[in-house]
Structure 1
């Protein structure tokens, strides 16, 4: 990759890069510049460098890459000393933690090379320092922030990016001033507070007793006060403006917390602490490169180790590095026993939304603690709603009323949740403030115009991208007007968004759907005391009402139960009892279709739970037959079709589906992705624009790609029950979005499943 690399500063950072370059064969020759001959001799003895010099100009002669690994306060002096030896084509980069000062030094000292200067900051470290601590693996799975300026040559940046990637780092890009601001807030400020707290207590007359009896929290928080004072003295000086802004921001927050305590304002105190609790969980998720839900279960020692001060910065600037998660399945097995799947995702979303808009405190049991529902919960926290929990499915929402939401301080991030984004579009277009809704890479490709179009007819001001996808910009302060809207395609999300906007509209808002869709929004509005009129296929609300807090229990999600309904149906010798499953008639298409195929399913102990019908569902293995799926059942099972395709693969004869275009615009193109997987394991199929034909019969195994779609991953896991060879499923991390604990629950029931992740 490079002929001659020069490292200026042979401590931990520079020495580790030299070791990594050597280990990966990325340079023919490695030389170093250091102030100490002893350091250079040690570097040669350890095999890190081929040669070195205390004369920096001499050290960089002939180098096609120079890496500056000296303190920020020494950057200008080091650049000036090496400048006479730099070639006209050399690329220069650095590892300084404050980019503004480093860039200023480069402009002043190496101006003729400024187009080939690529400012950078590797986020890695160790307790030990110096050349003897050099470690070729230091940068593996750590982040490196590049902060190129407007003058930086793109090719130079790409070569530096390629070098860091080659030694195992994840390379990100930021603007220099943004880097310094974020670093000040997430790394410099915590160190400043730790130094200040320990110093303040140490100056008390009884400091010995204070430290003797200090609890573990004091030890953990003040650990970073043991850092090198000289180094942090330099950092605070070099990044002074950003550090002072961070201190001011903290003082404002501290003053608000003090005022809440002084005035005994329980709501404010809870709001601060629940937001902080949630934010830390998200931080740990990013630090551990795992899901939010998995982070909540991580051992504290592990998370403390992962969430070190060095990684804090990198995790603040990244939306999360995706884990590689694979499902490994052995063929065969049966499903038996009694189990309860997680709470219904659709109802969990709406319980938070309506609880937040209600007057009073709403108590929720059975809340689904998956990524999607938590995205909704976090959005309302960001808009000033106090939410306690979730804890073992229990949540308390301190409602603010229909007009009590506050403007969020930033973008509302919906992760992978299309339900969150589409329903919030309706709810937010009636607010007095502006909002922006974003999501992950998958959600950012999904259509939002079918929601935006009817909302614009209500006088909402909504903008999407040119492709009709997120981010979604909503301008507040619009007076909405009630409309009647005939849905062109059956969609519970579009219907719900319109009805939620209708709560803020003048007059009556009504929606007529071409086929029945889930009616959770209508049922739950009524449960919160808001009048809803339903006449056949039309639902109506009028603006100007109010919601009253209530207690509700979220039933188990039939979409999650669907995997076990199919699994127990196809695996000989199976008998499962699925407890407390929601059987809302707009959601039972999966049961109706399986029964038409010959499944042995019975509903037991039918009852009502907070306006939603529930039952225990018993399913036994049965011989399935292929059918032509009635189109009127398609909207009632739209989310369950991936696993229904697996049922079809195990049925006698052909199963034919039409009228399911909606499957093309889910988390993936579920028709094509499922067809590809079925072909891989040996199931004959024919794809249509709006559906598929599947011929049932014996099939084998193979490698299947879920494309980040949780339902694809879980469906092929169920397929293993009748496979004749192992199945490997790639890209399964998003299973946590809809079904946390799936692997454990399925394994306990009898699935031969193991999870491999890194």
Structure 2
């Protein structure tokens, strides 16, 4: 429960389940919890009175200690000293209550605030306008999303609203102080409070609450009228019981709700009927792909819904605002030993789904990274009508629809924390016939997107960005794209890939020149799907208008994920570690080149080619490292690996210098600044520049067994690579390193904690 609400006397009109439970929650907040305190008058204790047409409900509320008094009708005496009125009557009875209340308000306290609990707000607005001429400034319309099949004050429970949402729907004239007081009231009951527009509230609730109740009542009624209804109910499985449980709710209340929210409910019902018709047609025609589209999309949408309810991590937030923040506590010492396989490459996982969806035929994928960002990409294509089986232990089957087979998604496409997905999707969606919107989590929506929007506009795309060129991106479909020759101002595989995706839909040739080599997964995969991409030196190009043919993909382990363990072994005496099946694409191996240049004992074993991508097993043993000047031509080839490489530099003899890495400032965080901030905490010396950093390691002759720096508490800024890098740094620290805001590690590296412990690191996670 929150702190005490600043109300001396509250009047609850309608002492049923909701009104009674609110009284119980306020009582729980105001008392010490013992039986005697529940009826004692304590300093600051709120006085609660009630009005209910049923005298037995009032008497029951007094007997239960929920209210201090009450009556069956509203009166001046009942309102005397009241600072808050909560209207908890059925929605169809609300206008009558407001009529009875209106003459009493003339002598009410100027501090009085009125709120309600109705599940439809447009009706409440209409009632207020009919009685008062407008919604009074001191009236804050609200709706607690909580309930039970039981009714009446006898069913009241103090925890009914805990961890449930209460939606407030104020207008532009509502008194901010009134809003704050109503918010405090519900927070005292344990609820999470948010605000929403009236019409949007009614539309959302029509789909998420009113329609499910409507369907449950209808289904139970339909089956109850069958001749074999006894057997139907006798042998009904758990799924039937779960779905129809809500049909046990108060029918009078739900009749009123259906009538009050008629328009929005009928709109929701029309959408549902259209969906039922599509699924029925697929069953009638034995169209397995069409059924799979609906069933797969629904299953994974349900998993996402579960993540919101359970405040767990599945696709970051719509999730991050819901889930608790996580902290890592990593203790010094340990060693790094064994043989492990890190998850699949995220860049290739994204592209495998994208190209598989746009291909003709079924693409079989193995080694798919089941991280939040990759799953968000997978779900996005389900929403655009692509049938996808899995993922199941890294195996996914994508039933391609061809370059022109995508369908308009039902809403914004959410790509989580992935800049790769957003930028590649921008190019892909620029060539579609339908409008679309791309959005992501709080971190992603702060990142620049004009670097893809500008060249796409040069191709003829119509794209709107938010202020500062940031997400969400609104892409207007139906544009005629034309190929361009584009010189990238800075090396970026994401920009290059975005333009190649758009080039698939463009007239003529799309040619991209990069100032330095970047990862070439897109070009390799396009060629693997039979779509010819040419390259000459620093330039690649393709012709629009071709087609992709499905091909199998074996996703290698992600070298970016492997980097954390490569550095862990490189800095820890006695380490001996093998990482299996790691992708060693020439455009990604900067980290290997840099570590070897620093003196790491790192060898590539069992080199082979899998699905167009080179892979190898990486064997690394501890050897003393030396600081180097990192070659500028290696910077684009290790751009995502630098946070971990900075930890290697802090454990090397001498100074390591990095230049030409300004791209690090526009990643999930400003990674140059984020690492520098952490170095300040640990006592690692550095010099920060606009485009790089100098990191001071240990002096020549330093005893290798000694700790290199101290411990402390650092902030990852929600950046998974910063979090994992400082976890590795703890191996050579003198004290624990606490790392805040680590929940996003799941976006790129599911299972990081387990693998870290497996190789010998001392890592625990805890709630912040």
TM-score by length of 1: 0.93
Q: Which residue of 1 is the match for residue 755 of structure 2?
A: 745
Task: For 1:475-554, list aligned pairs within 5 A.
Answer: 475-554=476-555
Q: Which residue of 2 is the match for residue 403 of structure 1?
A: 404
In structure 2, C-alpha distance between the alignment counterparts of 1:559 and 1:143, rounded to whole Å: 39
In structure 2, C-alpha distance between the alignment counterparts of 1:251 and 1:612, rounded to whole Å: 46
1:403 aligns to what SS in structure 2? coil
CA contact (8 A) 2:151 2:250 kept: no
1:114 aligns to what SS in structure 2? coil
Residues 614-668 of structure 1 deviation map (CA, whole Å, 9 limit, x = unaligned): 0111111222222221111111111111111111222222222221111111111
Residues 36-89 of structure 1 deviation map (CA, whole Å, 9 limit, x = unaligned): 455445444544334433332332232222112222233223333333333244
Task: For 1:167-182, list aligned pairs within 5 A.
Answer: 167-182=189-204
In structure 2, C-alpha distance between the alignment counterparts of 1:688 and 1:288, rounded to whole Å: 43
- Does 1:13 find its partner at 2:32? no
| 1:53 paired residue among 71, 75, 85 | 71
Q: 1:220 to 1:20 in 2, by over 3 A?
A: closer
Q: 1:320 to 1:232 in 2, by over 3 A?
A: farther
In structure 1, C-alpha distance between the alignment counterparts of 2:302 and 2:637, rounded to whole Å: 38
Residues 5-36 of structure 1 deviation map (CA, whole Å, 9 limit, x = unaligned): 22223333223333443444576533333334
CA contact (8 A) 1:75 1:102 kept: yes
1:319 Cα deviation from its structure 2 partner: 8.4
Residues 416-457 of structure 1 deviation map (CA, whole Å, 9 limit, x = unaligned): 111111111112212222222112211111111111122222
In structure 2, C-alpha distance between the alignment counterparts of 1:61 and 1:739, rounded to whole Å: 60
1:281 Cα deviation from its structure 2 partner: 1.4
Q: Which residue of 2 is the match for residue 376 of structure 1?
A: 377
Question: Aligned residue pairs: how many?
Answer: 737
Q: Which residue of 2 is the match for residue 65 of structure 1?
A: 84
Residues 595-625 of structure 1 deviation map (CA, whole Å, 9 limit, x = unaligned): 1222111111110110000011111122222
The gaps in structure 2 that reach 5 residues or longer are 1-5, 31-43, 699-707
Q: Which residue of 2 is the match for residue 300 of structure 1?
A: none
Bigger drift between 485-494 and 644-653 goes to 644-653
| 1:31 paired residue among 37, 46, 49 | 49
CA contact (8 A) 2:315 2:376 kept: no
| 1:705 paired residue among 709, 715, 719 | 715
Residues 394-436 of structure 1 deviation map (CA, whole Å, 9 limit, x = unaligned): 1111111112222223221222111111111112212222222
Q: Which residue of 1 is the match for residue 737 of structure 2?
A: 727
Q: 1:139 to 1:197 in 2, by over 3 A?
A: closer
1:704 Cα deviation from its structure 2 partner: 1.5
- Does 1:74 find its partner at 2:96? no
Q: 1:292 to 1:10 in 2, by over 3 A?
A: same
CA contact (8 A) 2:315 2:373 kept: no
Q: Which residue of 2 is the match for residue 310 of structure 1?
A: none
In structure 2, C-alpha distance between the alignment counterparts of 1:696 and 1:11, rounded to whole Å: 68
Q: 1:597 to 1:132 in 2, by over 3 A?
A: farther
Q: 1:129 to 1:642 in 2, by over 3 A?
A: farther
Bigger drift between 546-555 and 156-165 goes to 156-165
1:106 Cα deviation from its structure 2 partner: 2.3
In structure 2, C-alpha distance between the alignment counterparts of 1:358 and 1:487, rounded to whole Å: 28
Residues 311-347 of structure 1 deviation map (CA, whole Å, 9 limit, x = unaligned): xxxx9x9886132222122222112111111110000
1:548 aligns to what SS in structure 2? coil
CA contact (8 A) 1:708 1:734 kept: yes
In structure 2, C-alpha distance between the alignment counterparts of 1:354 and 1:136, rounded to whole Å: 53
Task: For 1:88-127, list aligned pairs within 5 A.
Answer: 88-111=110-133, 114-126=136-148
2:608 aligns to what SS in structure 1? strand
CA contact (8 A) 1:8 1:33 kept: yes
Residues 704-734 of structure 1 deviation map (CA, whole Å, 9 limit, x = unaligned): 2111111111111112212221222211111
CA contact (8 A) 1:580 1:614 kept: yes
CA contact (8 A) 2:676 2:688 kept: yes
1:363 Cα deviation from its structure 2 partner: 0.7
Q: Which residue of 1 is the match for residue 461 of structure 2?
A: 460
In structure 2, C-alpha distance between the alignment counterparts of 1:430 and 1:235, rounded to whole Å: 44
CA contact (8 A) 2:149 2:250 kept: no
The gaps in structure 1 that reach 5 residues or longer are 295-314
- Does 1:420 find its partner at 2:421? yes
RMSD after superposition: 2.2
CA contact (8 A) 1:293 1:740 kept: no
Q: Which residue of 1 is the match for residue 358 of structure 2?
A: 357
In structure 2, C-alpha distance between the alignment counterparts of 1:757 and 1:684, rounded to whole Å: 30
| 1:239 paired residue among 233, 256, 261 | 261
Residues 672-708 of structure 1 deviation map (CA, whole Å, 9 limit, x = unaligned): 1111112112222222111222222522222221111
